[in-house]
Amino acid sequence: MESEKFVPEDFDASEWGNIEPYVNDLLNRSLSCTGCLEGLIADASSLAEHISETGALLYIGMTCDTENDEKRDSFLDFVENVRPKLSEFSDSLNRRIVEHTSIDDMSPRYDLMIKGMRNDIEIFRKENIPLGVEQTKLVTEAQAINGAMTVNFDGEERTMPQMRGYMESNERAVREEAWKSVTERRVVDSERLSEIFDELISIRHKMARNAGFESYTDYMFRAMHRFDYSKEDCIEFHDSIEKVCMPLLHQINSARVSSLGLDGLRPWDVNEKTGVGPDTEGKPPLRPFENVEEMVSKLSVMFHEMSDVLGSMFDKLVEMDTLDLDTRKGKAPGGYQYYLEKSRVPFIFMNAAGLQGDLETMIHEAGHAFHSLYCGHLELIDERNYPIEFAEVASMSMELLTQPGWDIFYEGGDANRARRAHLEGVIFLLPWIATIDSFQHWVYSNPEHTRDEREAAWIEIRRRFGSEMNWDGIDGFRGVSWQVQGHLYGAPFYYIEYGIAQLGSLQLWQTHRKDRGEALDDYAKAMSLGNTKTLPELFSAANLRLGFSEEHLEPLIGEIGVAMKELA
């Protein structure tokens, strides 16, 4: 018999007053029957779905319209009034569950969940709740500052994502002017963004000390449930990237310098994060689509050609009308996929301006959405809440696996140009990941640093992982150019995940190059597991290996070299 739903379908979770009776029930109900503990977990999951979805919708509302004060206030109200009480409740509920006398009789299904609860209990501190709220406010301010940035360029006011088109121009003078306008605009707010970052570091360090940790790094490894790799693994990964990727990156750069006939690179000649630069044969920048409608309808055809399952999943996203894809002023930068836990519907946000990078972002976010749909059948919210290291395998491998289908967006040799640029992008992204991750390791192990020291550390790290380029006379923003990386504000330490996932994706791509069907099967099998297995187990479910060493990277990066030659 289907039991009555614990939380009604139309429940409003935006006010704590509405949530409280359910919380009291969960914390006080009698737990003496067989299966009571399981019932408690299921009901708590259903409440969590409602609350998560409410938070998601408020966040989506705000990021789609950063100039709307009402939407910002509703989100902040939720953050300030609901989330703090919620984390206190989660802690009490976690304790109620793990301290229960029949906890050891629970089925293995709950093992990972219980391990997570015990971990969270250990690091939970009530005094960190208001610090978390403070942190979110600062992050929201930084986002608003970035969302409001526009420049007057080429006769119009333009958003930062819109400026990317000019920065990829084949005319060096246009690139230089675009780069300089964007940089000058960023300098205007850079003081406040540095201040916000200073405040965040101090708050974060305090949270870590409160929880009994030496550093925020150690605290975050536990808070992010990084049970299967260590700080040392990350450091080894940085070294491997330096040894294996940097020679290829320098090769790509010097080939560009010579075919463009330059005397050296300047910052407007290559995007340091994506590797995007002017076309070496002077061809116009890749424009895979004119508008969002065209992108969406061509993607539908492309995914159907890959497999009916992916095609129908993609069409479902379009039908559900949960896509906000075009760029406009007042929209937060970047892209994300947010799963609506109660409706079990993925929402995709991005700023499409017609570039190849936009197509890649859309495919990336679609990969996250597929992941959510593949594991949507799992009953409990915790079982669907896949680890971010594997979430990015779903999205980054989709970028690589769709490559053969990109013909639909291009004529002539342009699809191969796009593929080559994308593979070059992988070679640039890994060192950028190493940059951001090493920078965070440095920042949080030296929480008392001065701004000058921070600049010096950043420039030193960029020397290790960046392109050789000439900064003469234009280095005013160089030392704070980490400010362009929003994760440093909103998602501290969330970056190495992209690197771990990229290695997984490259392995899946290797399979795909031999047997496309097998790769898609591996993908489906692993993504359907959601969060019910450990990270190494998820990797093996897709026939991948989790590793950080030079030996592990070499054949993967080597295959990129081979594929780039095939496309030449």
- In the complex, the residues that contact Zn ion under the rule CB under 5 A are 395
Looking up tokens 């990078």 gives 357
Helix (H) or strand (E) holding 420: helix 414-445
In the complex, least distance from residue 335 CB atom to Zn ion, rounded to whole angstroms = 8
Of 221, 281, 218, 232, nearest to 255 by C-alpha is 281
117 vs 366, beta carbon nearer Zn ion: 366
Torsion from C-alpha of 14, 17, 23, 24, nearest 10 degrees: -170
Strands 345-352 and 336-340: antiparallel
Is 237 or 349 the residue whose CB approaches Zn ion more closely? Answer: 349
Please answer whether residues 460 and 301 qualify as being in contact, where contact means their C-beta atoms are separated by less than 8 angstroms.
Answer: no
Nearer Cβ to Zn ion (395/502): 395
- Maximal CA-CA distance, the chain: 78
Q: Which is nearer to Zn ion, 110 or 495 (CB)?
A: 495
CA dist 64 and 78 (Å) reads: 17
- Helix pair angle (414-445, 172-210), 10° resolution: 40
Q: Which residues contact 517 (CB under 8 A, 6 or more apart)?
A: none
Report the Cα–Cα distance between both ends of the chain, in Å, rounded. 62
Q: Are strands 323-326 and 345-352 parallel, antiparallel or unpaired?
A: parallel
Whole-number Å distance between alpha carbons of 238 and 548: 9
Measured between alpha carbons, how far is 474 from 483 in angstroms, rounded to an integer? 17
- Element containing residue 566 per DSSP (H, E): helix 550-567
Q: How would you classify residue 379: left for phi > 0, otherwise alpha for psi between -120 and 50, otherwise beta?
A: alpha
DSSP per-residue codes, 221-286: HHHTT--S--HHHHHHHHHHHHHHTHHHHHHHHHHHHHHHT-SS--GGGS-TTT-----TT-PPPP
**Nearest distance from C-beta of residue 395 to Zn ion, angstroms:** 4
- Decide whether 229 or 390 has the Cβ nearer to Zn ion: 390
Q: Least distance to Zn ion from the beta carbon of 371, Å?
A: 10
Q: Which residue, judged by CB position, is nearest to Zn ion in the bound state?
A: 395
User: Which two structure tokens, joined as six digits, stand for 567?
Assistant: 């496309």
Q: How far is the CB of 21 from Zn ion (least distance, A)?
A: 37
The least distance separating Zn ion from the CB of residue 391, rounded to whole angstroms, comes to 6
